[in-house]
Structures are given as C-alpha cells and as structure tokens.
Structure 1
Amino acid sequence: MSTKVTTIVEEMARPYLDAHGFELVDIEYVKEGGNWFLRLFVDKEGGIDIDECGRISEYLSAKLDESDPIAGAYFLEVSSPGAERPLKKPDDVRKAVGKHVFVTTYEPVNGLKEFEGTLESFDGDTVVVRVGGRSHAIPYAKVASARLAIVF
C-alpha cells in the first residue's frame, strides 16, 4: 500500500515541483505509533526554505483533497532532506562524488558493512569510498543505504 501511495503522490507533486525548480528527494508513507505520516523531502539548488515548504504543502494538500487517494487520516509533512541528505538514486550518488558519505551494505564488503568517508567515484556499478587511507570498491547492487554525512 505504501508504494502505491508514494507513486500517486509523486505523480501529483511532480508537475508543481518541476515547474518551480524543486527536486523531489524522497517520499515516505509510514505508520509511527498510531498515526500515518506522508512525508516529502524536497530540495533545490541553494537549499529550500520553510516558506517554500509551506507553499508545496498547500499545493499538495489541495490536490490530495480533490482526489482523496489515501484512505484514513494522515499527517502531511514537507521538508528539506537536511544536511545528511539520503542518496536514493544513482544520480544522487554521482552528484555526491567528492563529498563525505555514509554507506551501508546488505552484506560485508572487504569485511565491513558500514563505510564512512569520501566518495571518490561512482560509475553506475561501483561506489568507491575512501575510509582513512584505504579505498573500498562497493558494488552498487550491495548498497543498502547511502547518505551525505556531516564531518565533525
């Protein structure tokens, strides 16, 4: 059900987001406690501010009210993906080359399942992350999750 909801919501939101120069980073439709949450993570070049999130939320709320594709009550949230932005699509990973990332894998690669370091390269099949003085070539098919990471 959650995949169907996120697909419908993406189709509704995409025209507005594209027309206004926003990038849809991710959509979640999840149950937390007794409540359902529909969350859109949106960004743009130079970052997104709270007023822009509010305008996107108002637009999408009106569209959702028109067609009512979601049964039951839910909370709609529109926000920035934040400093630790998820890298969901191959293009997200390409754009992150040279940045500090945190990558987890489904199974060990070089004896590890977590890699935090500089994303050296991505050719579509292999993610190369430099951790300390060592580069790790990780098959993209084995990546469970990837996100930008804050360096302290």
Structure 2
Amino acid sequence: MGVAPRHGRAYIAVTSNKQARREVGRHSASGAGGLLARGRILGDEKLKALIEPVVTATGFALVRVAMIGGERAPTLQVMAEDPATGQMTLEQCARLSRALSAMLDEKDPIEAAYRLEVSSPGIDRPLTRLADFDRWVGHVARIDLSEPLPFNGAARKRFQGPLLPTEGDDIRLEAEGLGPIALPFAAIRTAKLLLTDKLIAETAPLDASGADDIIEEEG
C-alpha cells in the first residue's frame, strides 16, 4: 500500500495479487476510462454501482470511479471526499480502502491482478456532478465536450474560464474568447478546476500526517 501527495491530493494504493482465473479473450469495458484487459472486467458505471454504496456507508461522497492504466498496469481509481471538508485525509483514505477491498474481494468484479487507488479529489479536482459547478463558482475550469458545439461560427469542444452559476441542467462559464456561455451538463466529457492562486488560497491543505509510515505492499 503506497501513499503520496499529488497536487494536494491524498491517496492510498493497494496492489491486488489476484490472478485471472480464466481468460475470455480481449474485452473492452464500457464507459469513459474503460479498461482493455484479459478476463471479466465491469465497465465504469457497473463498478460505480458496486462502489458508491460502500463509499456512502463509510460516510463519504463518491466523486469518480475510473479504470485507468491500460492492460499493463490496470488501476481501479476511486476518488471520494468527506462532505464536511471536500477533502480526504490519509486516515480516511485508508479506512475507505479497507472497506472497498473487502467488498471487491467478495463481489470479485475484476478477474485480473490490478491496483486499487483511493484518493481525495485534490486541489485541481475533477467536476463530475452538476452541484460541483455551483460549488466552485468563480474558479477557473477547463471543460471538454463529447462532441463539438457551434460557437461564433466555429465548432468547439474545449472551453476554459471562470464558472458561473448553473441554470437548470446547463453549466455556465465566462469562456475565454466567447464571454458567458451555457453548455449542457450531459454533453460534458471531462471537466476539472485549474490551479490558480485564488483556488490555492481558498482550499485548505490536506492532512499529510503519517505519510512516512505507509509503504508499498501487496494485498
């Protein structure tokens, strides 16, 4: 199990020593960030359905679930936060990691050796829920759409600028070169905050106590 700070993000990583018990050829998991690997691996949305109840029962809020790393280094990344702080301490990451490991061992959704990474969102956090865009109004975000939309006679997929209050199911921002615009939340592929002096000043530092006491191990 390893731990390190990443842009103000606390994380715990556990390497599974489980080997695939059968091979069914190559399978591409559905959903953004899906993993191409041997064996049975659920898509991100199905993994989320297994993981979110455990996160909630442990007292946290789920931010994102993703399979990353490809076939050579598959990693199940679970990003969560303490609703009271919007962050996760190392102790909280470790507690959630233990709860998730127990569930994953029981449900066995990934028939391959993989790494479980439980982390806080960090300062430059992803924006995955509509409420996130209201929570971080005034801060600069970068937004990528699944498909381009026409603005000022040109199709664009990427937008950047300070967030404005949402309207219904649309997120709004003061986009560079465009001014105030609205984008359908359902059209967003990825969105994240960008590091600025304002964001750093308004984000309380994560607790990094105990980092030197946690080492990499298999489990």
TM-score tier (shorter)? 0.7 to 0.9
Question: Counterparts of 1:149 and 1:48 in 2: how far apart (Å)?
Answer: 19
Deviations 1:96-151 (A, max 9, x none): 22322122333253445433221112113433212469623132154332111111
More strand by share: 1
CA contact (8 A) 1:126 1:137 kept: no
CA contact (8 A) 1:128 1:135 kept: no
CA contact (8 A) 1:102 1:114 kept: yes
CA distance 1:142–1:136, change in 2 (3 Å): farther
Q: Percent identity?
A: 31
Number of the residue aligned with 2:162: 118
Unaligned runs of 5+ in 1: none
* Range with greater deviation from structure 2 (128-137 or 25-34): 128-137
Deviations 1:7-37 (A, max 9, x none): 4433333333223331110001134361211
Question: Counterparts of 2:50 and 2:90 in 1: how far apart (Å)?
Answer: 21
Higher relative contact order (CA 8 A, sep 6+): 2
What is the DSSP-based 3-state SS (H/G/I as helix, E as strand, rest coil) of the residue aligned with 1:35?
coil
> Is it true that 1:51 corresponds to 2:91 in the alignment?
yes
Structure with the greater alpha carbon radius of gyration? 2
Question: Counterparts of 2:47 and 2:187 in 1: how far apart (Å)?
Answer: 28
Number of the residue aligned with 1:127: 171
Once superposed, what is the RMSD of the aligned Cα atoms? 2.5
Aligned residues: 152
TM-score, normalised via structure 1 length: 0.82
Unaligned runs of 5+ in 2: 1-28, 32-41, 198-219
Q: CA deviation at 1:75?
A: 0.7
Number of the residue aligned with 1:14: 52
> Is it true that 1:103 corresponds to 2:143 in the alignment?
yes
Question: Counterparts of 1:20 and 1:33 in 2: how far apart (Å)?
Answer: 30
TM-score, normalised via structure 2 length: 0.60
Question: Counterparts of 1:134 and 1:5 in 2: how far apart (Å)?
Answer: 36
More helix by share: 1
What is the DSSP-based 3-state SS (H/G/I as helix, E as strand, rest coil) of the residue aligned with 1:32?
coil
* Range with greater deviation from structure 2 (120-129 or 48-57): 120-129
* Range with greater deviation from structure 2 (69-78 or 15-24): 15-24
